[in-house]
């Protein structure tokens, strides 16, 4: 009984031991499998973070280079080159210099942008829109990139584009270069493949047992391979046995493909070791504990690495957040600069450049829709006087108030821009008819009937308006602006404060003016101008006592050109000084010659433009007197009233100097301008000349007689001699003599004649 009990107990003990050992091995197997599973999960998580980190590094690398290329494409040198190219400059005048400066900037970008002393860019190319190379910093190797696919790119975007070359794949950055809102060329940057690879290989080591490729649309770029001892020769089966990650590189067309060798599997104990395990129970227990400890240790190391990777990821996230913040600030700054570049700082309106761009857009729209469009030039009359008399601050206030008035009648579809100092451009699309345009112009004139008030001072400003209609007055922006400007200046010539539509006759007038400008220069050069002389008569003795020198021009093409026309032209183009010098010298020489007949007084008219250069004018008068030998007292200088209204201290000094020399001073065309007694008292005049317009209806118009009587009485009170222009009949002679007018001239005595004919008049008289 005891034996069977012992056997039974032994069997139970052995069975219990075996069961315990089986359970123990099962527990060890379970724990081992769980440990290996956790180890694999930790490895995959760590490697996934590592590959994402690699992708972030490349994203930042491409983003930084996008900014470099964008900055230089929008830089001053690039814009200056295409501006010179668009304006038609040659290589000798401006274009070559801007091209050299641009090439220096591209070479400087290559030399400055380096990572670990390696240049980021292998080669920079600038092409025109068709792909022809303008600047190439490389070794002039063939350029095979097809640019037509980039023609539809937005001007603010940049393309990362891979291309094939003999030794592999070339990564390019392609940036459209824009000028005046249009793509005019492309800036192409060929990146250094070694720098890209170094961005990733600097974070890896040879025993990592991994492979990384940069995947592009035309093939992979090899980064590294430490899986196989024979680089580039890892088979597809070997790669399929490894962990694989495919991560998109943000903002690029590339993917980062990575393979990693997983942790080695541990063999489980086989059945033949089962009995041995039972015999050495303590050994497997210790080994099991050690094994579990090793797994925990490995997991601890992995957790530490994961935590470090998370910390680095957080730092990278913080840096990226700051970078995004800086990018947003830069975008806001760029938007502000873009607004300032296209709008006027004072009025907030579109500036001249933006106004031209809007006009071109509206022309294109009108062409597509087969509609009309109105271009209105608005110029403030006599705005310069506001600045000169009230100051520029008041002038600026007038411009702001004018802007508000014009905006009040402009529709949302209209475009109002400040085109110049006191000029505005209003673009009205979808014009129904010219009647609508006339109504708009009348509304603008009505706006400026209201007074302007500044510092409790009220004043008025009128406007001159010129209008051109698309397509009848021009098919492009340049023609429309030129024709509207021509119509506006026609309003100026007709007296201001009105509007005109452009018509072909205006263009003929402009063409005539241009031709006359050229022919006047030739006439001066060829000495085709001559002086005529009209006698000035002593009304009491009916004898010649002087002459007025009048310039005449008989052109071979246009015939007789009126003095009023070519004198005004000479005042605008600067030829008036040459005409004035010729007139005073020729008149003085003739007057000196005629002194043998009588002490003749020679009257010479001077333009107000000449008086602006009073030192030059004084030099010309002194030279004429010296060369001719004419006594200064025999020279009479005639001055128009307009000069007296707008004069400087230098003009007053010049007149005082001429009087001290003995020259006579006459105020010409008195009564037609800003007549005032203050002028006659302030300036040292000797004579006053009544304009012919007051004499034409003197016999029939009592008002004109009263006005002439008042002028004569005023002159007498100031001890001024009087000369009457435009005497045409004996009645005028008798009346003026009765009113004690001393001198007169007109067709009743003689029209202006040549020097030879005038000399004959003198001989006949004496």
Quickly state the pLDDT bin for 139 (edges 50, 70, 90): low
Residue 7 predicted with pLDDT over 70: no
Q: Among 492, 491, 468, 490, which Cα is nearest to 481's?
A: 468
C-alpha–C-alpha distance, residues 94 and 117, integer Å: 36
Going edge to edge, which strands form the sheet with 243-248?
219-225, 210-216, 255-260, 243-248
Q: Among 114, 123, 231, 109, which Cα is nearest to 170's?
A: 123
The model's pLDDT over 561-597, given as tens digits with 9 standing for 90+, comes to 888 888 888 887 888 899 999 999 999 999 999 999 9
Number of neighbours of residue 16 by Cβ within 10 angstroms:
10
In the chain, CATH 3.30.450.220 sits at 43-227+235-260
CB-CB contact of 603 with 546 (8 Å): yes
pTM > 0.85: yes or no:
no
Tell me which of 196-200, 246-250, 265-269, 686-690 is least confident.
265-269
Residue 457 predicted with pLDDT over 80: no
DSSP 513-570: HHHHHHHHHHHHHTT--EEEEEEEEETTTTEEEEEEEEEEEEETTTEEE-HHHHHHHH
Number of neighbours of residue 444 by Cβ within 10 angstroms:
20
What's the confidence (pLDDT) of residue 275? 44
218 or 529, which is more confident: 529
Q: Which CATH superfamily is domain 43-227+235-260 in?
A: LuxQ periplasmic domain, N-terminal subdomain (3.30.450.220)
In the chain, CATH 3.20.20.450 sits at 514-761
202 or 278, which is more confident: 202
Residue 445 predicted with pLDDT over 60: yes
In angstroms, what CA-CA distances link 344 with 404, 426, 534?
A: 14, 15, 54
| Averaged confidence pLDDT in the chain | 81
The model's pLDDT over 467-514, given as tens digits with 9 standing for 90+, comes to 999 988 888 988 888 888 888 888 887 778 888 888 766 656 667 777
Q: Among 445, 301, 458, which Cα is nearest to 376's?
A: 445
What's the confidence (pLDDT) of residue 269? 40
User: What's the mean pLDDT in 205-216?
Assistant: 74
Residue 609 predicted with pLDDT over 90: no
What's the confidence (pLDDT) of residue 418? 87
The model's pLDDT over 109-131, given as tens digits with 9 standing for 90+, comes to 888 888 888 888 888 888 888 87
Q: Among 517, 525, 607, 606, which Cα is nearest to 569's?
A: 517
The model's pLDDT over 100-109, given as tens digits with 9 standing for 90+, comes to 888 888 888 8
Quickly state the pLDDT bin for 735 (edges 50, 70, 90): very high
Residue 14 predicted with pLDDT over 90: no
Fold of 358-502: Alpha-Beta Plaits (3.30.70)
Pairing of strands 114-115, 372-380: unpaired
Q: Which CATH superfamily is domain 514-761 in?
A: EAL domain (3.20.20.450)
Within 13 Å and on the Cβ side, how many CA atoms surround 92? Answer: 0
The model's pLDDT over 742-766, given as tens digits with 9 standing for 90+, comes to 999 999 999 999 999 999 999 988 7
Specify the 3-state DSSP secondary structure of 711: helix
Sole residue written with tokens 């401006």? 94
Within 13 Å and on the Cβ side, how many CA atoms surround 154? Answer: 3
Of all residues in the chain, what percent carry a pLDDT higher than 90?
22
The model's pLDDT over 230-280, given as tens digits with 9 standing for 90+, comes to 555 566 666 677 778 888 888 888 888 888 877 654 333 444 444 444 445
Quickly state the pLDDT bin for 299 (edges 50, 70, 90): low
What's the confidence (pLDDT) of residue 213? 81
The model's pLDDT over 652-671, given as tens digits with 9 standing for 90+, comes to 888 889 999 999 999 887 76
Partners of 636 in the β-ladder: 603, 664
Tell me which of 88-92, 265-269, 342-346, 712-716 is least confident.
265-269
The model's pLDDT over 16-51, given as tens digits with 9 standing for 90+, comes to 655 665 676 667 656 556 666 676 777 778 778 887
Where b means 16+ CB within 10 Å and e means fewer, 663-692 reads bbbbbbbbbebebeeebbeebebebbbbbb
In the chain, CATH 3.30.70.270 sits at 358-502
What's the confidence (pLDDT) of residue 42? 75
């Amino acid at each position: 009984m005891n034996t069977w009990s012992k056997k039974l107990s032994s069997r139970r003990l052995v069975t219990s031991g075996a069961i315990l050992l089986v359970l123990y091995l099962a527990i060890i197997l379970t724990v081992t499998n769980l440990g290996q599973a956790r180890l694999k999960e930790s490895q995959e998580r760590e490697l996934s973070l590592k590959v994402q980190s690699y992708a972030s590094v490349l994203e930042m690398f491409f983003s930084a280079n996008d900014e470099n290329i964008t900055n230089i494409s929008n830089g001053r040198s690039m814009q200056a080159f295409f501006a010179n190219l668009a304006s038609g400059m040659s290589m000798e005048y401006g274009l070559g210099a801007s091209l050299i400066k641009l090439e220096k900037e591209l070479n400087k970008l290559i030399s400055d942008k380096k990572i670990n002393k390696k240049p980021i860019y292998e080669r920079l190319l600038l092409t025109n829109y068709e792909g022809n190379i303008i600047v190439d910093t490389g070794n002039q190797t063939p350029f095979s990139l097809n640019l037509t696919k980039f023609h539809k790119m937005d001007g603010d975007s940049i393309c990362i584009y891979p291309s094939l070359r003999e030794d592999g794949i070339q990564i390019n950055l392609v940036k459209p270069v824009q000028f005046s809102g249009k793509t005019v060329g492309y800036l192409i940057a060929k990146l250094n493949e070694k720098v890209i690879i170094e961005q990733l290989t600097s974070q890896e080591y040879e025993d990592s047992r991994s492979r990384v490729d940069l995947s592009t649309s035309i093939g992979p770029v090899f980064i590294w391979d430490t899986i196989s001892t024979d680089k580039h020769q890892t088979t597809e089966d070997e790669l399929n046995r490894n962990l694989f990650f495919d991560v998109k590189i943000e903002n690029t067309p590339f993917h980062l493909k990575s393979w990693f060798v997983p942790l080695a599997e541990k063999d489980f104990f086989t059945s033949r070791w089962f009995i041995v395990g039972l015999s050495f129970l303590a050994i497997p227990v210790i080994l099991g504990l050690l094994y579990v400890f090793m797994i925990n240790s490995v997991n601890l190391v992995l957790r530490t690495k994961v935590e470090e990777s998370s910390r680095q990821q957080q730092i990278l996230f913080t840096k990226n957040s700051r970078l995004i913040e800086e990018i947003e600030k830069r975008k806001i700054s760029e938007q502000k600069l873009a607004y300032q570049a296209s709008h006027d700082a004072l009025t907030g309106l579109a500036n001249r450049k933006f106004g031209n761009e809007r006009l071109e857009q509206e022309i294109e729209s009108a062409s597509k829709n087969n509609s009309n469009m109105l271009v209105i030039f608005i110029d403030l009359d006599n705005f310069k006087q506001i600045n000169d008399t009230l100051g520029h601050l008041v002038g600026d206030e007038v411009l702001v108030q004018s802007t508000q008035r014009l905006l009040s009648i402009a529709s949302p579809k209209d475009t109002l821009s400040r085109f110049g100092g006191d000029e505005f451009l209003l673009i009205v699309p979808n014009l129904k008819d010219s009647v609508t345009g006339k109504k708009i112009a009348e509304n603008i004139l009505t706006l400026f009937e209201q007074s302007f008030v500044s510092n409790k001072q009220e004043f008025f400003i009128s406007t001159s308006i010129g209008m051109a209609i698309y397509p009848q007055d021009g098919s492009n922006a340049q023609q429309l602006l030129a024709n509207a400007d021509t119509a506006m200046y026609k309003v100026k010539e007709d007296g201001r404060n009105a509007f005109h539509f452009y018509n072909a006759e205006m263009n003929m007038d402009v063409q005539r003016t241009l031709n006359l400008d050229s022919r006047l220069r030739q006439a001066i050069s060829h000495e085709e101008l001559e002086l005529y002389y009209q006698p000035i008569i002593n009304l009491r003795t009916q004898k010649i006592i002087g002459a007025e020198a009048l310039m005449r021009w008989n052109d071979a093409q246009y015939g007789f050109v009126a003095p009023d026309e070519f004198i005004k032209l000479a005042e605008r183009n600067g030829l008036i000084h040459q005409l004035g010098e010729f007139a005073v010298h020729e008149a003085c020489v003739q007057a000196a010659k005629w002194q043998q007949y009588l002490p003749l007084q020679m009257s010479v008219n001077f333009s107000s433009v000449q008086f602006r250069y009073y030192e030059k004018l004084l030099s010309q008068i002194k030279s004429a007197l010296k060369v001719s030998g004419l006594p200064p007292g025999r020279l009479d200088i005639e001055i128009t009233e307009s000069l007296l209204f707008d004069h400087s201290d230098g003009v007053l000094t010049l007149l005082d100097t001429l009087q001290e020399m003995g020259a006579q001073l006459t105020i010409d065309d008195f009564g037609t301008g800003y007549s005032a007694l203050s002028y006659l008292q302030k300036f040292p005049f000797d004579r006053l000349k009544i304009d012919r317009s007051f004499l034409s209806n003197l016999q029939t118009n009592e008002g004109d007689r009263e006005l002439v009587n008042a002028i004569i009485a005023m002159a007498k009170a100031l001890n001024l001699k009087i000369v009457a222009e435009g005497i045409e009949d004996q009645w005028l002679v008798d009346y003026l003599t009765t009113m004690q007018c001393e001198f007169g001239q007109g067709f009743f005595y003689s029209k202006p004649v040549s020097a030879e004919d005038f000399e004959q008049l003198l001989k006949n008289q004496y």
